Amino acid sequence: MPLMKSWVESANAPDTDFPLNNLPCGVFSVGEAEPRCGVAIGEMIVDVAGLEEDGVISLSEIPVFDLPFWNELMELGPEAWAAFRARMTQLLAEGAEEQAKVLPHLYRQADALMHLPFAVSEYTDFYAGKNHAYNVGCMFRGPENALPPNWLHLPIGYNGRASSVVVSGTDVRRPLGQLKPPQAELPYFGPCKRFDFELEMGAVVGTPSEGMVSVAEADDMIFGYVLLNDWSARDIQAWEYQPLGPFQAKATATTISPWVVMKAALEAFRVSTPEREKDLLPYLREPGPMLYDIELEVGLAPEGKAETVITRTNYREMYYSAAQQLAHHTTSGCPMNAGDLLGSGTISGATKESRGSLLELSWGGKEPVTLDTGESRSFLEDGDTLTLRGAAKGDGYRIGFGACSGKILPAPPNPYES
C-alpha cells in the first residue's frame, strides 16, 4: 500500500510518523481545556470528541468519546474500529468534501500536552525476546542454563502494576528500595544504583474475554500497539525476585508512547515469528504472521547534552507474538478487559548494538557504553533522558508511535537514612 494523501499537508511528508495510513489514538489537551480523545495527522491532532459532538462521526447510539480515554471505542470491537478508521480516512483524505467540518477541530501537536491514551485496566509484562532472555540468563546463570527449561514452550509472563503506567514525557524518579550487594551480609534501604530501561512494545487489549481464547481470537481482540519502556531497578530486583518474581523493581514507572497505533495500520507489516526451536503445543500455534516489522531505536541524552542512539533493533526479533501471549494469558480462565496492556518483553537483537537494555549493552556494568559526548554509562544517571522511537516503514511513508520518553530525576529524600 502506498502513501495515502491527506489535505493536511504535513501528513504527506515522507518523514512524518503520522500519515493518513496511520491515524493513531491519543488523548491531548491544549491550554486550560480538559483532555480529549484525538487522532494524529501529520503535525496536527483531530479532536474526535469534537467531531462526535458535532455529529460528524457517530459510532454508537451513546457517545464513545465523552471520556478522555479510548476504552469505550475499544469495547465496541473490531467492526466499530474499522468503521471509525473508514470514516476518519474519508474525512481526512485529499479532496475530502467535508474538510470544513473537520477544520474547527484541528490542533497543532506542538501546542498540545499528551495524556495516557487509555485507562490501563491491568498490566502484564512478558519475557518473550529470546536474545534478551539468553543474555540475562548468561549473566546470572551461565550460558548452559541461560534459558529456563520452560522458555521455548510458553511465553513467560508476570503481572505488573497498572497504577505505575505513565505517558511519555512524565519524569521518572529513581526509586528507593531494599538492596543487598552480593558481598554484604545484610540488606540496607537506599536509592537504586542500577536503574535501567527495557525497550518493549505493548499490545492493548480491546475486546474483553472470559474463558480461553485461541491465538487467532486473541489477535482479533488486540486494538493496537504502543512503544513501552519498562523501567527496571536491577539491584532491587536481584534481592527481591526469588521465588515469586519482580515486584518493587518494576513498580516505579512504565512509560508508554502517547499514541496507540491501531492494528489495522500495521497490517501491511505483518511478519512471522522466527522458526520454532521446539514444537509448540497446538494452543500456542499461530495461524498466520502475527509479529510486525517495526524498526526500533533508543536514544540517551545526558542532562543538557546531545542524544546518542545506543541501540537499534526490530519488533520482529520476538520469539512469541502478542497474540500468543494473550492466548496463553487466558488458558486458566483469566478474564481479560478493554485496556489491558501486555508488554512484549525486552526486544534485543542478536548483535551487541541491538540489545534492548543497559544491563545487556554494558553486560552487567562490565562494559560501559560510550556516548557521543564522551561520557559512558553502565546504568542510567540522574538527569538522563531516555527516548524510544519506532516505525514500520512502507513505500514512501512510515507508521510511527511518537517518542516514548522519560527523564530520570534524583531519588526522593530517604527518610530512613542512618
- Tell which one of 3, 203, 233, 298 touches its own copies (CB under 8 A): 233
C-alpha cell of residue 333: 480462565
- Tell which one of 1, 100, 244, 304 touches its own copies (CB under 8 A): 244
**Cβ at position 310, least distance to its own copies in Å:** 24
- Catalytic member of 132, 153, 328, 329: 132
29-88 binders of its own copies (CB under 8 A)? none
Q: Is 363 in the site for its own copies (CB under 8 A)?
A: no
- Tell which one of 75, 94, 122, 295 touches its own copies (CB under 8 A): 122
Q: Applying CB under 8 A, which part among 100-108, 222-230, 251-259, 358-366 lies near its own copies?
A: 251-259
- Residue 310 vs 323, nearer CB to its own copies: 323
Q: Is 375 in the site for its own copies (CB under 8 A)?
A: no
Q: Applying CB under 8 A, which part among 39-47, 65-73, 336-344, 362-370 lies near its own copies?
A: 336-344
Q: Is 142 in the site for its own copies (CB under 8 A)?
A: no
- Tell which one of 2, 182, 243, 374 touches its own copies (CB under 8 A): 243
**Cβ at position 250, least distance to its own copies in Å:** 8
**Cβ at position 204, least distance to its own copies in Å:** 15
Q: Is 323 in the site for its own copies (CB under 8 A)?
A: no
Can 153 be counted among the known catalytic residues? no
Q: Is 334 in the site for its own copies (CB under 8 A)?
A: yes
Q: Is 221 in the site for its own copies (CB under 8 A)?
A: no
- Tell which one of 52, 240, 286, 384 touches its own copies (CB under 8 A): 240
Q: Is 170 in the site for its own copies (CB under 8 A)?
A: no
Q: How many CB atoms lie within 10 A of CB 2?
A: 9
List of residues contacting its own copies (CB under 8 A): 121-122, 127, 148-150, 153-154, 156-164, 173, 175-178, 180, 186-189, 211-212, 214, 233, 236, 239-249, 251-253, 281-283, 328-329, 331-337, 340, 412, 415-416, 418
| Residues with catalytic roles | 132
